[in-house]
Amino acid sequence: MKMYFKYLLFVCMLFYAFIIADVSYSQLLIIEEIKVTHTDRKSFEEDILISALGLNESDVYKPQVLGENIYKLQKFYFDNGFFDAKIDTNVRYDLLEEETFIKIIVTENRHYRIDSLIFTGLDKVEGNTGRLMRKIKRIKSKDYYDKILIMQQTNEIIDLLQNSGYMNARLKKDSGTVIRKYEDLSDPSVSVTINFEGADSIFYFGKTNITITNNKYGVESGLLKKEIAYNEGDIYSKEKKLLSESNIAKFPIVQSARISPYEVSNGKVDFTAEVNLNNKTEIGPFASSVVIDNIFYMGGGVSYTNKYFDKSGKILTLSFDGLINSLDINRIEFSAAITQPHVFNTSSYLTDKLTLGLYNIEDSKNYYIGNLTSYLQSFRNFTFYNNASVDLSVDLLRFTYDTATVPTFTTLNSLLSTTFVHDNTNDVFSPSGGFFHSVTIGSGGLLPKLIINTLEPDVYYSQYVKLFTSNNFYLNLSKKPGNTVFATKFLVGDIIQYGSGDRLIPLPSFYKFFSGGGSSVRGWGARDNGILANTNDGGDFLLEGSLELRKKIFPEADNFTKNISGAVFFDYGNVWAADNDFRPDQIALAVGFGVRYNLFVGPVRVDFGFKLYDPGTAGNKWLFSDFANIFKDRFVVHFGIGEAF
């Protein structure tokens, strides 16, 4: 009887344990808290350890996943020289609230230093390559073991070797890195041996054949072969091989290019370049948003692209689009552009674009025919400027007005300009670091002056010099890039008009500077700011800048709220009729705040701007002197897509 009772009690306990386990793990439990504690010392901040752990609060709790993540944390400590570190966990359950609380208990133990770092398999590397390789060896004896630094140094050596002819240089597959521990309690250390192989023979480039898969468009292999960055007989260089692949893939008709060795003879390696093609033509609708002359437009259209227009690799693009700001302010355009890639080298492009347009701006209609010829040259990474362009635009504009007091007239203008650009920002839509700088110098009216006398009497032109510089700077202020960003911009533009003659007229507003708007001084509406009789006419001298602090509101969230961010800003600037009209006390000031929601197209933005200092008013110029009208005359709401700058 007693034995029977014991068996029954044992079965009941098993059943109870099964029920408890089923209740505990059949529920969907959410991780409410992750906390890291240390039993001896703390070498890393908690957010770094949680990041290495790979778990986040609000994740669904899974015991098997937790075990995998604990292994990741153990490996993190190992890779940083804590070979004896121990990781324990304590998990508390709140079944009623369906939550778990995870406590990570870390015992770091000893921190190992490097006693010696030995490289083998490099005995036959000589000459300049050997000297450069010795300079790479920056890890010193008694440095703490750091796997990332060792890997970086190892990869630098392999890159140097593979760019110096040692095509097969690599780590040994079975024993690339060997670590030996020395159990000295007073000064624990390790000996690290890096074993290389294949660094005993130098190879040279042989012939390279182009193989185009399914070449139904008749793409010339000779056109692609011109983009190979090495010559037959050159010392093998992995960098030049990859550059050649990149050069070939820059052609829009090319989907991918891969250069691989296929035959080796007496140290000479023949290669084959396997090329896959894109579809030759594309046609489809598109949506767009853009700021033109400080006015925000939204719209879309349809475009057609021929990626292999002829045997020289030209690209033909046809586009029809419409943009609207309001019923009175809208634009319709048709454009046809031909681009010739790789004009003189792989980093040069030539584009010719013809545009027909109808632009409605409140009480006027502008009929436009224009041609822009642009040559773009990219530079190597070690230069300050990334690229430069030379642009020649020729515009025929007919201005018609709704009011009879302003006559209809036609202008023919041209602008020959050069622009230099430096851009090392880290994101197209929302930069969190880097610097953008551009400078443009142009001369207008040279072509019309030569041909104007052959045209009808009512065709006019303008002569001017145009100078403009744009400068944006972004600084990340948080540990995680993009959480908190300080951004600033500074713009200066000057148009200097000159000359005299029967056909010479002042420069139309179509070519001038404007101030005020969602991407300008945000205390004013679009083109509402300016020391001018009519701000919609624009001015010849612009000075403008902004200071902005951007911050994600819920950076740790994993739902839709993670895309919400806010900003506070201070804008300054104005536009004057000419540079000699500039006065510092006429610089307008604005302050405000905004909300953004980040989408795949960039942040959708709403900004609330206030006129802090209004030099154009005869009354109270400062905001704090006119609080009664703060939401009447001193407040503007702006909508936009993309950051203000």
**Which of residues 431 and 14 earns the better pLDDT score?**
431
Entry pTM:
0.76
Please give the average per-residue pLDDT across 385-406, as a whole number. 89
Size of the chain in residues: 645
| CATH level 3 topology of 27-107 | Ubiquitin-like (UB roll) (3.10.20)
CA dihedral 104, 109, 114, 120 (to 10 degrees): -70
CB-based contact 530:541 (threshold 8 Å): no
> Which structure tokens are listed for 485?
């960003």
Contacts of 570 (CB under 8 A, 6+ apart): 546, 547, 548, 589, 590, 591, 612
Start-end ranges of CATH 2.40.160.50 in the chain?
Answer: 281-543
pLDDT above 90 coverage of the chain, percent: 67
Supply the pLDDT for residue 503. 87
Supply the pLDDT for residue 253. 94
Cα(271)–Cα(51) distance, integer angstroms? 43
Residue with tokens 């000057």: 494
Start-end ranges of CATH 3.10.20.310 in the chain?
Answer: 27-107, 113-197, 204-277
Supply the pLDDT for residue 620. 84
> Which structure tokens are listed for 336?
């046809």
How far from 419 is each of 36, 231, 308, 447, CA to CA, in Å?
54, 33, 28, 20
Supply the pLDDT for residue 25. 43
| CATH level 3 topology of 281-543 | Porin (2.40.160)
CB-based contact 358:370 (threshold 8 Å): no
Cα 148 from chain centroid (whole Å): 26
Supply the pLDDT for residue 3. 53
Q: Going by CATH, does the domain composed of 113-197 fall within 3.10.20.310?
A: yes
The domain 204-277: what is its CATH number?
A: 3.10.20.310
For every residue of 218-256, which 3-state class applies, written as one string? CCCHHHHHCCCCCCCCCECCHHHHHHHHHHHHCCCCEEE
Q: What is the pLDDT of residues 288-331, one digit of tens each?
A: 999 999 999 999 999 999 999 988 889 999 999 999 999 999 99
Closest CA to 395 of 359, 448, 323, 350: 448
Closest CA to 268 of 204, 187, 320: 204
The highest-confidence range among 97-101, 122-126, 574-578, by mean pLDDT, is: 574-578
Q: What is the pLDDT of residues 489-545, one digit of tens each?
A: 999 999 999 998 888 999 999 999 999 999 999 999 999 999 999 999 999 999 999
SS3 assignment, position 390: strand
SS3 assignment, position 129: helix
SS3 assignment, position 14: helix
> Which structure tokens are listed for 134?
């010795």
Residue with tokens 């007693």: 2
DSSP string, 521-571: -TTS-TT-B-BSS-GGG-BSEEEEEEEEEEEESSTT--SGGGGEEEEEEEE
The DSSP symbol for 61 reads: P
